[in-house]
Amino acid sequence: MNIRTSKPLRHTLLIASLLASALTMAGACQAEDAKPTRVRGAITAIDGDILKVHSNRNEDLQVSLTKDTQVRSVTLAQVSEIKPGSYIGSAAVPQADGTLKALEVHVFPPQMAGTGDGHRAFDLGKDSTMTNGSVGDLVTSDGRTITVNYKGGQKKIVIPDDVPIVNLVPGDRSLLKPGVKIVVQAQPAADGSLSALSISAGENGVTPPM
């Protein structure tokens, strides 16, 4: 027995089908477009391409390494290594006079100049920001106040004496060992799993301050 569907009904069913497909695709895109998250902590174990990490938030996590995961080495540096033209990044908090007070400073090698250029919100503390750019002037003779130029702006950053300063340079997976302190930029998947986009790993017991 053939049952004919009226033209208006067929039209309604078609629209409903297209709407359902659009909603499904939108949900998938939202899952794919989940914002990267930072994981700070220490490596507890390595199993193939899986890093097991105990985070600073007291979570035991698993992070997958991929062929595209960038590994960077973090070593101690001195404020004297920051000069006009140096490319740096600094997490900081705003001060009443409009300057920024650094929470940490990381110095990039010349081949990494331009990495993350700009000024944006950051998650190292309340009201914290991240500024990546080229050092312009050393405003004070001891180098503890600097101007940082980035595309579209400039910030003046004050570096207190007790603020950690580190070098951030390209590394490889040989740096990833149990006990090493790391900061991972991770991409969450729809199922909650994490894939590492980049890893900053402390050398010789250094804790990445970013």
Summarize pLDDT for 111-134 with one digit per residue, the tens. Answer: 999 999 999 999 999 999 999 999
- The three-class DSSP label of residue 119 is strand
Q: How far is CA 100 from the centre of its chain?
A: 20
pLDDT of residue 137: 82
Cα–Cα nearest to 202, from 77, 42, 74: 74
Whether 205 and 72 have beta carbons less than 8 Å apart is answered as no
User: Distance between CA atoms of 208 and 91, rounded to whole angstroms?
Assistant: 12
- Shared-domain flag, residues 29 and 79: no
pLDDT of residue 140: 74
- Shared-domain flag, residues 75 and 154: yes
User: Distance between CA atoms of 199 and 185, rounded to whole angstroms?
Assistant: 6
pTM of the model: 0.80
The distance between the two most distant Cα atoms of the chain, rounded to a whole number of Å, is 93
pLDDT of residue 139: 73
Q: Is residue 143 part of a domain?
A: yes
Torsion sign across C-alpha atoms 176, 182, 183, 188:
positive
- Shared-domain flag, residues 85 and 2: no
- Shared-domain flag, residues 102 and 144: yes
- Shared-domain flag, residues 11 and 57: no
- The three-class DSSP label of residue 87 is strand
- Shared-domain flag, residues 11 and 76: no
What is the band of 14 on the pLDDT scale with cuts at 50, 70, 90?
very low
Whether 167 and 200 have beta carbons less than 8 Å apart is answered as no
pLDDT at 29 over 80: no
At position 182, the amino acid (one-letter code) is: I
Burial of 162 (0-12, 13-18, 19+ CB in 10 A): exposed
Whether 130 and 89 have beta carbons less than 8 Å apart is answered as yes
pLDDT of residue 3: 47
pLDDT of residue 19: 43
**Domain count for the chain:** 2
% of the chain at pLDDT higher than 70: 84
pLDDT at 195 over 60: yes
- Shared-domain flag, residues 2 and 51: no
What is the band of 30 on the pLDDT scale with cuts at 50, 70, 90?
very low
> What domain range is 14 assigned to?
1-33
Whether 179 and 42 have beta carbons less than 8 Å apart is answered as yes
Q: Which residue has the higher pLDDT, 19 or 171?
A: 171
pLDDT of residue 65: 98
pLDDT of residue 18: 44
Q: Is residue 187 part of a domain?
A: yes
- Shared-domain flag, residues 117 and 21: no
Residue 19 host element (H or E): helix 7-32
- Shared-domain flag, residues 70 and 11: no
What is the band of 34 on the pLDDT scale with cuts at 50, 70, 90?
confident
- Shared-domain flag, residues 92 and 174: yes
User: Distance between CA atoms of 101 and 119, rounded to whole angstroms?
Assistant: 14
Q: Is residue 209 part of a domain?
A: no
Q: Which residue has the higher pLDDT, 11 or 113?
A: 113
Residue range 87-96: average pLDDT? 98
Residue range 17-25: average pLDDT? 47
What is the band of 141 on the pLDDT scale with cuts at 50, 70, 90?
low
Q: Is residue 141 part of a domain?
A: yes
Q: Pull the structure tokens for residue 31.
A: 């899952």
Q: Pull the structure tokens for residue 123.
A: 């998650």
Residue 128's CB is within 10 A of a number of other CB atoms, namely 16
Cα–Cα distances in angstroms (integers) from residue 16 to residues 4, 13, 28, in the given order: 19, 5, 18
Q: Is residue 182 part of a domain?
A: yes
